[in-house]
Chain A
Amino acid sequence: MTTEFSVKADEQLWTELDMDVERFKKVPPVLTQLYQNIFLSQSNRPEEMAYFDRMIENIYTGRIQEMVDAKKAGKPVIGTFCVYVPEEIIQAAGGLCIGLCGGSQATIPDAETVLPRNICPMVKSAFGFKISGMCPFFQAVDFVYGETTCDAKKKTWELLDKHVPTHVMEIPQLKRERDKRLWLEEVKDFKTAVEKIIGNEIAETELRAAIDTLNAKRLALQRLNDLRHHNPSPISGRDMLLIQQIAFYDEPARFTAQVNQLCDELETRCRNNNVVAPKETPRIMVSGTPMALPNWKLHNIIENSGAVIVNEESCIGTRYYKDTIDTTGASLDDMLEKLTERYMKIDCSCFTPNDDRIDQVIAEYKASGAQGLIDYCLQFCHTYNIEAVKLREACEKEGIPFMSIESDYSPEDVGQLQTRVEAFIEQIQE
Chain B
Amino acid sequence: MHVGIDLGSRAIKLAAVKDGQLVASEVVNSSFEPHKQAAEMIKRYAPQFVAATGYGRHLAQKHFAQQVITEIKAHALGAKHLFPDCRTILDVGGQDSKVIALDPQGRVAQFQMNDKCAAGTGRFMEMMAASLGYSLDEFSLAAAASDETVAINSMCAVFAESEVVSLRNRGTAPEAIARAIHLSIVDRLSSMLDRVGLQGELVFSGGVARNSVLVDLLAKRLGRTVSVPNAPEIVGAYGAALYLGARAKAA
Contact = CB atoms under 8 A, between A and B. Distances in A.
A415 interface: yes
A328 to B, nearest CB: 48
Nearest to A408: B116
Nearest to B113: A420
A116 B115 CA distance: 21
Interface of A: 406-407, 412-413, 415-416, 419-420, 422-423, 426-427, 430
B108 interface: yes
Q: In the complex, which range does the number of interface residues on chain B fall in? A: 10 to 19
A426 B116 contact: no
A426 B96 contact: no
B116 A413 contact: yes
Interface stretch (B69-77, B133-141, B222-230): B69-77
B107 A419 contact: no
15 contacts: A406-B115, A413-B115, A416-B96, A416-B114, A419-B70, A419-B72, A423-B70, A423-B72, A423-B73, A426-B72, A426-B73, A427-B108, A427-B111, A430-B107, A430-B108
A406 B69 CA distance: 23
A415 B58 CA distance: 11
Nearest to A428: B108
A419 B72 CA distance: 8
A430 B116 CA distance: 27
Which of B71, B73, B115 has the most C-beta atoms of chain A within 10 angstroms of its own C-beta?
A: B115
Contacts of A420: 111, 113
B55 interface: yes
A415 B55 contact: yes
A419 B71 contact: yes
B70 A426 contact: yes
A423 B114 CA distance: 14
A33 B72 CA distance: 33
Contacts of B72: 419, 423, 426-427
Given A415-B55, A416-B96, A423 B108 contact: yes
Nearest to A423: B72
A427 B103 CA distance: 11
Given A423-B70, A426-B69, A416 B108 contact: no
A273 to B, nearest CB: 28
B69 A416 contact: no
Contacts of B108: 423, 426-427, 430
A407 B109 CA distance: 23
Nearest to B56: A415
A423 B115 contact: no
Contacts of A413: 115-116
A263 to B, nearest CB: 36
